[in-house]
Amino acid sequence: MPAARSELAAALAACRHAFVGVALFSGVINLLYLTGSFFMLEVYDRVLPSRSVPTLVGLAVLVAVLYGFQGLLDIVRGRILLRIGRALDEAMSARVHGVLVRLPLLAPAARGLQPLNDLDQVRAFMSGIGPAALFDLPWMPLYLAICFLFHPLIGLAATAGGLLLVAVTLLTEGLLRAPARDSAAHAGNRAVLAEASRRNAEAVQAMGMADRLAAQWAACNERYLAAHQRAADVTAGLGGLSKVLRAMLQSAVLGIGAWLVINQQATAGIIIASSILTARALAPIELVVSQWRSFVAARQSWKRLDDLLGRIPEPAPRLALPRPTRALAVEAVSVVPPGTTRVVAQDVAFRLQAGQGLGIVGPSASGKSSLARALVGVWPAARGRIQLDGAALDQWTPETLGPHVGYLPQDMELFAGSVAENIARFETAPDAGKVIAAARAAGVHELILDLPQGYETPVGENGGALSAGQRQRVGLARALYGDPFLVVLDEPNSSLDKEGDEALTRAILGVRARGGIVVVVAHRPSALAGVDTVLVMRAGRQQAFGPKEMAQAPAVPVPLRVAMGAAS
């Protein structure tokens, strides 16, 4: 936890010089706020009794200059705060995005884009007027001290009003905490449901689920609106109360000043000056009350982000290992999906040498895809070790392991961008030759050339501009990009036709021919045409491992024997 706090604190501490500047500007601005009070004091006590127009003009010019300077400083302070918020975002955005990418692999039930939303909330608060109000608060005693200098009764009235507004602020904190937390939670749930409905629009429309999902969303939205309304009611109610108290206090100060003038204990200028000064003294508190909801939301976002960064520390740098070229070893590996305690693959052990191809077969829910995720490091092995050339996968960082691994997941999606960008894994300035080589290896080069803009064709969000078969074949090219040593394909032919199946077989044989290792998870026998070894899984356990010809062995269950025999 301290490490997580230090990350955010360090990002904010990097702006400490800017905060010093904000504090200095706030000090000068608050001194300039006295301009109006002293101008009225001079007008009533000097100009009116003397009837001196030159004095009035001189004061007016001086006041105009001071107000202009105050406005300029206020603008500069606001721009500094805006840049502090941006600097915090720039310092943390890459780290938060990295956590966002890793979060579904560690906690599948985690709420979608919440970390980014939390960072946005913190940045918005830091860039707004909330921090300015907090910087103004320390100057409140100065205004109260001047009120006491005018007269003790005026000072006492202003102090009493300030204490009342502080009480309102504390009351706001107590009443707003729970509604603000509930509002944020329901807003996240609503966003997740809406995104799920959008992503599955075809199924929703085809099966007439729109009305039922709309009812669920409406119920979720109703809970969000109710929590939001409670939070808004608290803010509006107590904000209105603070305004009323401030107005009453100004009137009370005017009344006290009039009484003092009647009793010849103060001048007429003090009546107006003290009223303006009292309003100025209480303005920061009133502004803090009005911004308290944003402050609470930012504080909750900070805490959530702080906790999340603590649970998912940044990967430590590791020594770059040489490119694997020899073997893949799986030693008594057990796999547990993140966020659960259920073992889905248990005590799996095998070894593959360069140039081999392994087909993993078995009935549904036998642990095949879970094992595939462990082989590429998506899910860490709960027990045992997975090694490339003797080095366990946890000795690599994802960035250094990635170029040596090609992975085609079962639920494959493309990213918004061109076909070439997706194949090149969005490398900066990728080698065009490597992109075309990967497409040729996947047997998709001619298909890409037939697209409207060839390799520059935008695939759309989630690859929606391509058919399912085209997406799968482009995904295969992405897995083969850069000639990775280990290629893991999970149901790679689920959307392919006969031509696609043949291209897949050639791609598997091509990886083996160049000295790579291919692991294919499949139900359809045609996907296993290019492999030479088979691993049979059932109920999360390894049943058999050996040459593909073992399909005819009596120990292998008949349905699997038939499937593997067809593949042979």
Could you give the strand order of the β-sheet that contains 383-388, starting from the edge strand earlier in sequence?
A: 391-392, 383-388, 327-335, 345-353, 541-547, 533-538, 357-361, 517-521, 486-490, 405-408
pLDDT above 90: percentage of residues in the chain: 26
Instruction: Count CB neighbours of 23 within 10 A.
Output: 12
pLDDT, one tens digit per residue, over 387-405 is 999 999 988 888 888 899 9
* pLDDT at position 109: 57
* pLDDT at position 406: 92
Rounded to whole angstroms, the Cα distance separating 85 from 95 reads 16
Rounded to whole angstroms, the Cα distance separating 300 from 306 reads 10
Q: Find the mean pLDDT for residues 112-133.
A: 84
* pLDDT at position 566: 40
pLDDT, one tens digit per residue, over 516-527 is 999 999 877 777
Residue 444 has pLDDT above 80, yes or no: yes
Residue 438 has pLDDT above 90, yes or no: yes
Give the pLDDT band of residue 65 (cuts 50, 70, 90).
Answer: very high
Residue 136 has pLDDT above 50, yes or no: yes
Residue 246 has pLDDT above 60, yes or no: yes
The rounded mean pLDDT for the chain is 83
- The gap from C-alpha 524 to its chain's centroid, in whole angstroms, comes to 39
Q: What are phi and psi of 397, to 5 degrees?
A: -90, 160
Q: Find the mean pLDDT for residues 378-386.
A: 90
Give the pLDDT band of residue 104 (cuts 50, 70, 90).
Answer: confident
3-state secondary structure string across 223-276: HHHHHHHHHHHHHHHHHHHHHHHHHHHHHHHHHHHHHHHHCCCCCHHHHHHHHH
Residue 567 has pLDDT above 50, yes or no: no
Quickly list DSSP for 157-204: HHHHHHHHHHHHHHHHHHHHHHHHHHHHHHHHHHHHHHHHHHHTHHHH
Residue 10 has pLDDT above 50, yes or no: yes
Instruction: Count CB neighbours of 500 within 10 A.
Output: 22
* pLDDT at position 496: 79
Q: What are phi and psi of 370, to 5 degrees?
A: -65, -40
SS3 content of the chain, % helix, strand, coil (to 5): 65, 10, 25
Cα 107 to Cα 205, 316, 340, distances in angstroms? 30, 20, 9
Q: Which of 154, 160, 164 is nearest to 272 (CA)?
A: 154
Torsion of CA 268, 273, 276, 282, to 10 degrees: -120
* pLDDT at position 562: 43
pLDDT, one tens digit per residue, over 498-546 is 888 888 899 999 999 999 999 999 877 777 888 999 999 998 899 989 8
Q: Which of 242-256, 483-497, 537-551 has the lowest mean pLDDT?
A: 242-256
Give the pLDDT band of residue 563 (cuts 50, 70, 90).
Answer: very low
pLDDT, one tens digit per residue, over 75-87 is 999 899 999 989 9
Residue 463 has pLDDT above 70, yes or no: yes
In 40-76, which positions are buried (b, 16+ CB within 10 angstroms) versus exposed (e)? bbbbbeebeeeeeeeebeebeeebeebeeebeebeee
